[in-house]
Amino acid sequence: MRPAAAPLAREAPPGWAMPLLFVGALALFAINLDLPAHFDELYHLLAAQGWLATGEPVIAEGEYRRGLWFTVLVAGLFDLFGQSELWIARLPSVLAAALSTLLLFRWLHATAGRTAAWIAALLFATAPFTLELARFARFYAIQELLFLAGAVAVEGAVMGRLRPAWRLLAGGAGLLCLALAVLVQPASLIGLVGLALWFALAWLLPWLAGLPPARRRSLLLLGLVAGLVGLALLFATPLGGQLLGLYRWTPPWAEAMRNQVWFYHLWLALYYPSLWPVVPVLALLAWRAAPRPALLAICVFGTSVLLQSFGGLKDTRYLAYAWPFLFALFGLALAGCWPALRAFVVRRLARLPLPGPRRRVVQGGLVVFLLFAFLANAAVVRSVAMLADLRVPPQPPWPGWERLGAALGPELETAELVLVTNELAALRHLGRYDLLISHSRLMEVSDEGEPFARDYRTGRPVIAEAATLDRLMGCFASGLVVSEEAFWRDPATLDEEVANLLVRRAEALPLPAGLRFRAWRWTTAEPGPMPACREVRGRLGRS
């Protein structure tokens, strides 16, 4: 016996609604599309340039193969436009985010009605999480679209009133989208746990409820035993340990956040103080107003934010696949509340001896009050700041990489060795670097205790310790160290000991304060004897 499908008595949106929403989302996400690059974006930008030049995703002497399909996509766009600007690399994310907005709207319009669809779509499109992903030249916005499309298609196949052929087609397409979302970003597996919970609550339990009690108990016991045995076998194999290690893995630069189980809670409480603290109540209101989409949103987002909170690596973009379901929840709850709230106010106003125009003013005041309750959320301030390219403290101003080369002048050309703290930006804007100084990167690419390592992504050496830099300074006649202000005396990058060594042994170069860089030059009149320096120079490919 199959549980009854939820009826869909909703009318289709007017013909102008979806084109208007799509074009509006595209226009919104395209604002300031030429903002300075985030570090991770440069991997795809530089690798795409390498792909066009060599047919391989090369960066300097290395290769960057993560998200190779996205790199190839960016390379194709560069070839199409005839230039390799960052805004071009961001176009796939702009399109994917706009399509996610459209899909969220259409799904909720079909399952919950016009009001919920508009509220959810507008909240989602203007959220800082969405704006970040939409203007980020990486695969997260595409992951978000694939997971949302897959979940909605599977939900329609399971719960919708579809003919068998259409049900099979929707289910197959949904599973394909979900599989692609996992391939794009394995964190989507966590979202699948939430989808499995939804399936159990929406389909499996109602199906079991229709069985005779004895058979129901037997199947429940069998399922419980099979699940426990499966988990035991999984974690008895190397695969289980690998999955757990991947779940808790954290790179050195993010180690401080590894056990911050409150990470996502704090961001949501900061951005949405009028909504997030009462999200359990909103979930109940959403479930009451539109049980079918609400259950999916509750299961996917609730499971995802909980499991990601206990994972190792944390960032708001790692919840990309789950954000649409949070705003679906908000839209469903607020739309469900609105009729009762409006009726309450109208009844109260009816008791007052107010003339018609004054009553309309009071009703307008209610709308203004509700708008203020939303606009006062920090998410609105953050989104406006992002669109206007305003760096709100504690964010530092953008470092002036575009002007740095001119400020360094001939020092950049004449130095025998150039060391930097941001290798990708140096390749893009300076066209040169020889070594990277970074504790975090050294720990990523080397065994603990190694003073030198080669980053496979660039093929260039990485160092971190002051003693290693001291040897380099003694073995090369001249050198230049360039660091962003944000990385100066940073334990994960250029730490106190390295900074103190530079202060003692090198000369600070004057740079305009607005650049937010520090540069140090050293000269060694008589570099160390060749036998003592042979290993150091050999690691750098110098004779």
Q: How many residues are present in the chain?
A: 543
**Which residues are registered as beta bridge partners of 522?**
479
**Positions in the chain whose pLDDT score sits under 50:** 1-9
Spatial CA neighbour of 181 closest among 149, 137, 138, 134 = 149
- Domain check: are 380 and 479 in the same one? no
pLDDT score for 1: 40
Q: Report if residue 58 sits inside a domain.
A: no
Q: Report if residue 176 sits inside a domain.
A: yes
**294 Cβ partners below 8 Å, 6+ apart?**
112, 283, 286, 287, 328, 329, 332
Which of 358, 385, 412 is the endpoint of a domain? 385
Q: Report if residue 527 sits inside a domain.
A: yes
Q: Report if residue 193 sits inside a domain.
A: yes
Q: Report if residue 56 sits inside a domain.
A: no
CB 265 within 8 A of CB 279: no
Q: What is the pTM of this model?
A: 0.91
Please report which residue ranges of 476-529 form alpha helices under DSSP H: 496-505
Q: Report if residue 24 sits inside a domain.
A: yes
The tokens 């507008």 sit on which residue?
Answer: 122
Q: Report if residue 158 sits inside a domain.
A: yes
- Domain check: are 417 and 319 in the same one? no
**DSSP-based three-state secondary structure for 512:** coil
- Domain check: are 220 and 347 in the same one? yes
CB 313 within 8 A of CB 357: no
**225 Cβ partners below 8 Å, 6+ apart?**
none
- Domain check: are 243 and 137 in the same one? yes
pLDDT score for 370: 75
- Domain check: are 108 and 238 in the same one? yes
- Domain check: are 441 and 326 in the same one? no
- Domain check: are 474 and 337 in the same one? no
CB 219 within 8 A of CB 208: yes
- Domain check: are 314 and 262 in the same one? yes
Give the whole-angstrom CA distance, residue 397 versus residue 514.
Answer: 9
pLDDT score for 392: 78
Give the whole-angstrom CA distance, residue 404 versus residue 411.
Answer: 11
Three-class HEC string of 303-338: HHHHHHHHCCCCCHHHHCCCHHHHHHHHHHHHHHHH
Q: Report if residue 84 sits inside a domain.
A: no
Structural domain including 517 reads: 401-539
Count of CB atoms situated within 10 Å of the CB of 542? 14
Give the whole-angstrom CA distance, residue 449 versus residue 460.
Answer: 18
pLDDT score for 3: 44
- Domain check: are 441 and 365 in the same one? no
- Domain check: are 299 and 443 in the same one? no
pLDDT score for 504: 95
* Rounded to 5°, angle at Cα 304 from 177 and 18: 50
Number of structural domains in the chain: 2
- Domain check: are 204 and 167 in the same one? yes
